Structure 1
Amino acid sequence: MSRVVVAVGATSGIGRAAVREFARRGDRLVLAARAPRTLEEVRVECAAEGAEVLTVPTDVTTPGALDALAAAAVDRFGRIDVWVHTAAVTAYGRFDQLPARVFDQVVRTDLLAAADAARVALRHFRAAGSGTLILTGSVLGHMTAPYLSSYVAAKWGLAGLVRTLQQELRDSPDIHVCLVSPGSVDTPIYQRAANHLGHVGRPPPPVTTSRRVARAIVACADRPRREVSVGRLNPIMRLGFTVLPGLYDLLVGPLMRRLGIADRPAPAHDGVVFAPDPASESVRGGWLPDLAHLARRTAALPGEVGARVLRRAR
């Protein structure tokens, strides 16, 4: 029997890639995000894979919104088997120059809303006796980087919350809480970030794909794990942060300025921290080549060349 999957943050980046993977598996989907127009686009994508889909426009920072989302899911499908929470925003800027309202909203979205999602999901899972909650952390939930104070604070808090929930659920072996922690990912979150730094942010290499993280999420739904790290250098960076803190702190600033910040100037703006931008919502951020498109173009080349030769021969 197909699962009922609630996916929050379904219109962009990792969340959008994940719901496509669930749709291919035949799961029934409840999709939530702030932008109704983009939600409809994702519904069509998932329906094309044969999935049954309900969309619920949801701002995770609105009191009661996640309770209403859960109620809509149960009303439509009768239960919730998996809850995937990928909704997140970020902001660039030195802590003392980042407006307090921006810092607070990032923490409200990335940590407090995730906690609210956990509260709602676990209530349903306790009643049912089973269920899987998958939260999206970050390698920056285990280490730090300058100019991302609000995001780092939120992700460290989320990692602590997940560990606590896992301890509290030891009496419920069929209820699982998983944390998927990627490093740099090719998503639009960097372009969509609030920026009070003066220069555009970018993902430091190595950069992985949204689909790779999405597959890790689906794998947790299939076989729950406490935490999954996605990123080749994540273990090395975490080790350096823990074992060689002095050297780490010496190097992280210059490396961030060289690899994580572009030379291109940026005026101060709030990005999508307070309001969505449907035009910028997509799976990819453009930081990696689109290998699938390249493969399709390469496969089509012989036919195109042959057609041109025939046209000239005539």
Structure 2
Amino acid sequence: MPIPEDSGRPLTALVTGASSGIGRATAVQLGERGARVVLVARGRESLEAAADEVRAAGATAVTVCPADVLDEDAVGAVVAATVAEHGRLDVVVHAAQVMAYGRIEDVPKEVYERVVDTSLHGTATVARHVLPVFRRQHAGHLVIVNSLLGNVTTPVLGSYAVAKWGQLALARVLQQETRDEPGISVSIVQPGGVNTPIYSQAASWAGTTGRPPPPAYSPQRVARRVLATLDSPRRVVQAGLLNPLITAGFRLLPGVYDVLVEPLLRRLALAADAPTGPTEGNVFRSNPDGNATEGRWRSI
């Protein structure tokens, strides 16, 4: 069911991962619609910079709420405060994520688990607090930003693939468990490569940081896909020109896929010009200097 923008009432939208990348681009586009936007991420400094952009875009109101999606109490407090201030919550876009490069045997246990936890348990935390609000309202739309790597796997990004496969399973369960309330929609958006800072912000035990594999979408283009699900709800939306082809190869020609995937990854998705020693990146803490809407690569 589309989110109604009736009676002149602006939408109230909450965006996680709003300090950078797809989350930040989506928040700006919600601002362009005149929404009341609540921005959630770990670091206040980057959120304040994002808030300035969202206000300039035309948002009716902007609220900055620093919180980690793995912090149950903090997420609950943000949702409760949003409803208390605005009377309802119409839209939640969950885009928070961290990434790590390296073989499973090389990535430290704590880093691996944090990548998986942020995606899987962070999504569950958001759902636990948001869906009861939607049920009381008999309406609401949760959009979960997943990934092409929720459908396929690749070496060197094993922790991220496990995180996104688990998140996809959880999102599908949420779709099934909300079928009893027709006013609630849960949409999954699966980008391919996107020109955001997540690659250069990632942890790495691969000798280098990553880059978005071409053709890389702009975060604004993915944000338009996210907002399109509000106008015409869909269960799963692809945001990558080659996603269907790559997924078909993974499923139908697994032997060929496995032969090709690592050399292609090393050629197209690792930043040869950015060698680095082992680094935790922004996995455990916000890095405001690296946060921005777009990364340093070309996008379409």
Does residue 247 of structure 2 align to residue 238 of structure 1?
Answer: yes
Structure 1 residue runs without a partner (length 5+): 292-314
Quote the residue 2:4 is aligned against. none
Q: Which residue of 2 aligns with 1:285?
A: 295
Q: Please, which moves more after superposition, 158-167 or 173-182?
A: 158-167
- Which segments of structure 1 move beyond 6 Å, counting only runs of 4 or more? none
| Structure 1 SS opposite 2:39 | strand
Alignment partner of 1:133: what SS?
strand
3-state secondary structure, aligned to 1:75: helix
Q: How many aligned residue pairs are there?
A: 290
Amino acid at match of 2:105: D
Q: Deviations over 1:196-225 (max 9, x none)?
A: 111221111111100010001111122211
Task: Tell me the residue number matched to 2:208.
Answer: 199
Partners of 1:163 and 1:37 in 2: CA distance: 34
Q: How does 1:293-308 map to 2 (within 5 A)?
A: none
Tell me, in whole angstroms, the C-alpha distance in 2 between the residues paired with 1:74 and 1:174. Answer: 18
Farther-moved stretch of structure 1 (231-240 vs 73-82): 73-82
Partners of 1:62 and 1:175 in 2: CA distance: 24
Tell whether 2:52 aligns with 1:44: yes
1:49 CA drift (Å): 2.4
Taking the aligned partners of 1:217 and 1:258, their CA distance within structure 2 comes to: 30
226-235 or 37-46, which moves further after superposition? 37-46
Please list, as runs of the form range in 1=range in 2, the aligned pairs for 1:20-169 lying within 5 A after superposition: 20-51=28-59, 52-169=61-178
Q: Which residue identity lines up with residue 287 of structure 2 in the other structure?
A: D
Distance in 2 (alpha carbons) for counterparts of 1:46 and 1:158: 28
Match of residue 14 from structure 1: 22
Comparing 38-47 and 227-236, the one that deviates more: 38-47
- What amino acid sits opposite 2:272 in the alignment? D
Deviations 1:163-187 (A, max 9, x none): 1111222211110100010000000
Amino acid at match of 2:282: V
Q: 2:285 aligns with which of 263, 275, 278?
A: 275
SS of match in other structure, 2:212: coil
The Cα of 1:25 is off from its aligned counterpart by 0.5
Correspondence for 1:249 among 258, 263, 277 = 258
Report the identity percentage: 46
SS at match of 2:114: helix
| C-alpha RMSD of matched pairs (Å) | 1.2
1:263 CA drift (Å): 2.5
Aligned-partner Cα distance in 2 for 1:201–1:50: 34
**Aligned pair in 2 of structure 1 residues 168, 97: CA closer, same or farther (>3 Å)?**
same
1:20-56 C-alpha deviation (Å, 9 max, x unpaired): 1000001111111111111111111111223111111
Find the aligned partners of 1:76 and 1:222 in 2 and give their Cα distance. Answer: 25
Matches within 5 A, 1:219-234: 219-234=228-243
CA separation of 1:247 and 1:58: change in aligned 2, threshold 3 A: same
Q: TM-score, normalised by structure 1?
A: 0.90
Question: What residue ranges of structure 2 are gaps of 5+ in the alignment?
Answer: 1-8
Q: 1:235 Cα shift?
A: 0.3
Amino acid at match of 1:23: G
The structure carrying a bigger helix percent of its residues is: 1
Amino acid aligned to 2:88: R
